[in-house]
Amino acid sequence: MATDWFTLRWSDEGVVMLDQRLLPGQELYLTLGSVEEIARAIEDLVVRGAPAIGCAAAMGIARAAVVSEAKQVADLVDDLEAASERLARTRPTAVNLFWALERMRESWRGLADGAGAGVAELRAGLVAEARRILDQDVETCRAIGAAGLELVPDGSRILTHCNAGALATGGYGTALGVVRAATEAGRSVTVLADETRPFLQGARLTAWELDRDGIPVTVITDNMPAWLMQCGEVDLVMVGADRIAANGDVANKIGTYGLAVLAKEHGIPFYVAAPLSTIDFATANGDAIPIEERGRREVAEIGARTLVPEGVPVRHPAFDVTPARLVTAIVTERGLARPPTVASVRALAPSD
């Protein structure tokens, strides 16, 4: 895998993020020092993809600790709570955001209440925890890749949607992590990337990162999969997830559900690759998953160009829900839920 770029990193000056809005044209890294800047970067899709959003939010909490002028632990904790509340308002569907904020909260409670840490120790502990979350995310993605290997025979032509790659995670990727693992295992695989309107994560991001790794990728428009499946040009579908309910229903980028219906019709396996931090065991099924609505501009404009007459309404849900019955298997770092059911998903949960 290429090592000459990264999605996000901690630095003493701030959180360094590759500005994904500018890809593939420009590779620009932003250094964001304040919680507000980090929250806006998440909202504006500088950094996106559920696991990467979680990593960014964790670093946002660590930055809040570093920049806080609090002299007392109680005041620092107030600042951390305020930061957490701001970050939690950025993107409602990606459950990794809330997972990461909760993990950071557990960390500061453990340090402050449990270990009696002072302000300086609390700051250092939260920076270390945020960095750990990032490192563990990459390890988790590699484990997802290894678990998914059995689903990807040599020669597979894999259709994917949006970007569930290194750019959407701490590195390596979930759906694209499986692709990378197959490639590293010596299998010859090719990827069809849906362009993924409206923000074009497939055309811009999936194509960019796979091309950088030398993995063959072809971009198609979002209305081509049905025909290409009918022509026998797709062997399997592999996508990521923003939130998976306890019964295996999957929220992912708008358009994913349509692909699952098409895959069923054509007898093509439909796989979802995601870390356990994307499974929301507290949400019984997909009906309860909040679906983010984004703004008109993402649909009505491309760059400087207006596509839709002024005054004509547009719809802009960012995600849809694929019922578990359309999912052949969910691939996690702890193995597969195949097929996903309440029991098979529950069996993946770490026992505590």
User: Which residue ranges make up the site for ligand MRU (CB under 6 A)?
Assistant: 48-51, 94, 162, 164, 168-169, 174, 201, 240-242, 252-253, 318
Give the nearest distance from C-beta 164 to ligand MRU in angstroms: 4
Selecting among 242, 249, 280, 320, the annotated active-site residue is 242
Give the nearest distance from C-beta 12 to ligand MRU in angstroms: 27
Which residue is listed with tokens 């949960």? 349
Query: Residue 302 forms beta bridges with which residues?
Result: 305
Rg of the Cα atoms in the chain: 20
Give the nearest distance from C-beta 294 to ligand MRU in angstroms: 8
Contact in structure between 20 and 185 (CB atoms under 8 Å): no
242 is a catalytic site residue: yes
Give the nearest distance from C-beta 332 to ligand MRU in angstroms: 12
What is the number of the residue whose Cβ is closest to ligand MRU? 240
**Distance, CA of 318 to CA of 315 (rounded, Å):** 9
Nearer to ligand MRU, 225 or 240 (CB): 240
Residue 244: enclosing H or E segment and its boundaries? strand 243-245
Nearer to ligand MRU, 178 or 246 (CB): 178
In the sheet that 157-160 helps form, which strands lie side by side, from edge to edge? 217-220, 190-194, 157-160, 236-239, 270-273, 329-332, 335-337
- Peptide bond just before 313 cis, omega within 30 deg: no
Nearer to ligand MRU, 48 or 63 (CB): 48
Contact in structure between 229 and 261 (CB atoms under 8 Å): no
Nearer to ligand MRU, 81 or 316 (CB): 316
Which positions are catalytic? 242
